[in-house]
Structure 1
């Protein structure tokens, strides 16, 4: 019996974990906070356009539109990842406070693209509409 997977292990599979990540309203809010921390001072207009969209996606998630919010979050996180990865950093700059925040932001973008992509791809709208 030790070789059979238990019910808890089945529930905590990778797909379910990624779907739980995509259905959570906290990651887009955290990403918006990190983007604001990086680009508010000195103010950079293009990256700061991502913040209101991510906050609106978080609001849509709380309002019950989890699948749509996951699609918005995944798409805009991917766009920010492309925008931010164009800029290169020297090795010395990667270990300062700004470099650590930038690394955390890019890591969160990757997690959002994967988790929200799985949620959007495997989401069932019928189940979402019945829960409202």
Structure 2
């Protein structure tokens, strides 16, 4: 019985880590986060938060061009920075349940997922040229 519980626990841990790594290896989350940030801050224009959108799109571009580990690091770092800056803004309880509040909540949740997934992917990922030595 104890072996079964241990095996299930090991499967759960490995599947969570693998899910986070797959999330961090994907090009879609930074592009989606960039879209959410643009939707929130274009009307009225807020230039500091809008500066995050091109950086996240560049991260997605790097991912498509086979720089997966570097893209995951950039995505995790900039998503974490946006999460810190956006969490500082206070919202009244009534505004949390508006469509704009729901978009803000989805943006912050996606930032947290990007930080976790991108961090795991960056830490445990490998570059194509790692492991081969040129002597």
TM-score range (shorter-chain normalised) is 0.7 to 0.9
Q: Which residue, out of 37, 40, 52, partners 1:38?
A: 40
Asked which structure has the greater CA Rg, the reply is 2
RMSD: 2.0
Instruction: Say whether 1:81 aligns with 2:83.
Output: yes
Q: TM-score, normalised by structure 1?
A: 0.88
State how 1:94-105 maps to structure 2 within 5 Å. 94-105=96-107
SS of the aligned residue for 1:99 comes to: helix
Gaps of 5+ in 2: 131-135
Q: Displaced runs of 4+ in structure 1, greater than 3 A?
A: 3-6
Matching residue within 22, 25, 41 for 2:24: 22
Name the structure 1 match of 2:58: 56
Give the Å deviation of 1:64. 0.1
The TM-score normalised by the length of structure 2 is 0.86
Aligned residue pairs total 126
